[in-house]
Amino acid sequence: MGESSKMSPSIKNIPRRQAIPILYTRGTHYDVGYDVGRTFAAIIKNFLQLSGPLNDTYLPLYNTDEGRKVYNETLESVKKSFPQYIREMEGTADGAQVEFHKLFLLHMDEILPVAVEGKNSINQPIGCSTVCVNEPDCEILAHTEDALSEVLNHYYFVSAHIVSDSPQGKYNVTEERFTSLCYAGHLPGYTMNYNHHGLVFSINTLSASKLYSGKTPRHFITRALLSAENFAQAQLILRDNGVGAADGCSVNMTFLKQDGDRLFHNAEMGPAERDQSQLNILTASPGEHIVHANMYLRLPVPEVNGLIIDSSVERMKTFKSFNAPKTLNDVIRMLGDQSAKEHTVFREKDAKDIIKTVCVGIFDCRKRTWSLYSDNPKFNAPLVVMPLVIKD
């Protein structure tokens, strides 16, 4: 019997709230994870009970011999590369008083059903849309955070300063300082983020048809990105030499402190067929822009069929109906657009929608601000505008 059948009838998602909490925390990886878990315990527990994929698919598979084998292989692989992020997740589990394996299953995402059953279990129009504009007076990375409806109201900001006594993980990191938008119970790094080295990035989920057990789930690769000091390091982290990504995603990024002209990059990362991730990078120079949704545009990676692709095709078609974006208002009109028949860019046609745009973020690289909208930016002011605090 799935755990969803045990769900308390009092646990249900509520309509969109105009609220987002933020935690400022400093310490070791475990300390930071513990503070996240303790502070957001109620939100994390609610999310674990509401999560359809976790309760209906991941947990039942975890309780099979083959599922446990895939889980253990992947966990051991991550422990070798990034033991500090496992400690961080253990801290979150301890702080929230929830089971560690449930959090790790969320980070494995569709690796388990694909490895065990040979198919992606979520045929929903999941994903996000990103627009980067590189104009002389408009340098913007903007992103819709689209997710299963249970994510609505189940996210928060974590602003963390992690200092370690000794070098950590495969990249020997001793200090991390970042602010990240996090889904409940998830490590920082997989939505919208920036670090004190000036790296700004957002993620588009991509769904390759073949995923791999015993490699690095994308959530841990993007968590490691939060330590990147420059573009060369970011590429090294995405390639994950020696192991490689178990699944795929698209990373939209820029470095605020880079010399010379502003550059935006879109990196498509594909699952590692051997011992490093597949990687293709497109760069937008001044006068250019990038749009990306949830399908591979350049890497020749076989993808799942279904709604995630249908949705991406329709959203990209909507973007192409606009003139090339040059201003903030152009970007807001694009990300707030609801003109498509089925798969709109800003998603919330009615309360029954399975996929919703839970929030919209706009990084202004000239003003060094991050604006977060908890509702459609075409009709609403940002809920918060935060300064991007960069290391001297």
pLDDT tens-place string over residues 87-119:
999 999 999 999 999 999 999 999 999 989 887
- Give the integer Cα–Cα distance in Å for 291 and 330: 13
Q: Are residues 100 and 189 in the same domain?
A: no
Radius of gyration of the chain (CA): 19
Q: Number of folded domains in the chain? A: 2
Q: Which residue ranges in the chain fall short of pLDDT 70?
A: 1-13, 121-125, 148-152, 349-353
Q: Are residues 170 and 313 in the same domain?
A: yes
Q: Is residue 286 in a domain?
A: yes
Q: Are residues 198 and 95 in the same domain?
A: no
Give Cα separations from 320 to 138, 143, 292 (angstroms).
Answer: 20, 17, 11
Question: Can you give the pLDDT at residue 2?
Answer: 44
Q: Is residue 1 in a domain?
A: no
Domain that holds residue 60: 22-117
Please check whether residue 278 is in contact with residue 241, taking contact to mean a CB–CB distance below 8 angstroms: no
Q: Are residues 289 and 224 in the same domain?
A: yes
The dihedral through the CA atoms of 297, 302, 308, 311 has a sign that is: positive
Please check whether residue 281 is in contact with residue 236, taking contact to mean a CB–CB distance below 8 angstroms: no
Q: How many CB atoms lie within 10 A of CB 17?
A: 11
Q: Is residue 201 in a domain?
A: yes
Give the tokens for residue 41.
């315990």
Q: Is residue 364 in a domain?
A: yes
Name the nearest CA neighbour of 180 among 169, 196, 168: 196
Name the nearest CA neighbour of 391 among 260, 256, 264: 256
The dihedral through the CA atoms of 109, 115, 121, 123 has a sign that is: positive
- Give the integer Cα–Cα distance in Å for 19 and 272: 39
Q: Is residue 279 in a domain?
A: yes
- Give the integer Cα–Cα distance in Å for 101 and 121: 19
Q: Are residues 47 and 148 in the same domain?
A: no
Q: Are residues 77 and 183 in the same domain?
A: no
Where do the H-state alpha helices sit in 129-270?
218-225, 231-239
Q: How many CB atoms lie within 10 A of CB 99?
A: 12
Dihedral (C-alpha) 278, 246, 141, 329: value to the nearest 10 degrees? 110
Q: How many CA atoms within 13 Å lie on the side-chain side of 158?
A: 35
342-376: pLDDT as tens digits: 899 998 866 566 788 889 999 999 999 999 999 99
Name the nearest CA neighbour of 252 among 346, 341, 144: 144
Give the tokens for residue 346.
């800003």
Question: Can you give the pLDDT at residue 121?
Answer: 63
Strand ranges inside the chain, DSSP E:
22-27, 129-135, 138-148, 155-168, 173-183, 192-195, 199-206, 248-255, 264-270, 278-284, 288-292, 355-364, 369-373, 384-387
Q: Are residues 210 and 247 in the same domain?
A: yes
Q: Are residues 36 and 69 in the same domain?
A: yes
Picking from 117, 141, 168, the residue at the C-terminal end of a domain is: 117
Question: Can you give the pLDDT at residue 122?
Answer: 63
